[in-house]
Amino acid sequence: QDISSIKNNHSFTWPGGDVENFDTAISYKVASADGEAEITIGYGYRVTYGTKRRRVVVWIDNYPYAEFMGADDFEVTGEVLSEIRIWDDENDSKRMCRYAVDIIPERYSMFRAGSLKHRVTGDGVHDAWAVIANVADHKCMSALAAMRKYETEE
């Protein structure tokens, strides 16, 4: 993967019309058996669970496939988390993968996982499994986004 651009003050308009601003966005041109794509990793901040946290969004061809939030100890560890979601046949939709209740799908075996509730405090934090990545690990965050893109195409 080659860096194609680095932008300051990147903004993204979500499907509902909300505009979110990111301090920095780094884009890569990548190639796979399916062809070329552009992966963009945006860095910003957002209040989540009552605390202003580091936020990272990973887009593939301008579609957001992975969102990460800073752990409570982000300033020390640099770690961000993305909740794992699984398909729920009963409700015909995705739901959080519950920590210590649900089995993490095998496709997540390449990622480090842990309890969101053990790393993030605040009102309404789900007791869910989450992928844990270092904020600088673009390969890990991009791999999660690519896997989620693949899941939506199945």
Q: What percent of the chain has pLDDT over 70?
A: 97
Pairing mode, strands 63-70 and 79-83: antiparallel
Q: Calculate mean pLDDT across residues 40-66.
A: 96
The total of other beta-carbon atoms located within 10 Å of residue 50's CB is 11
Dihedral-angle region of residue 49 (phi above 0 means left; psi in -120 to 50 means alpha; beta otherwise) = left
Q: Which of 11-15, 29-33, 40-44 has the lowest mean pLDDT?
A: 29-33
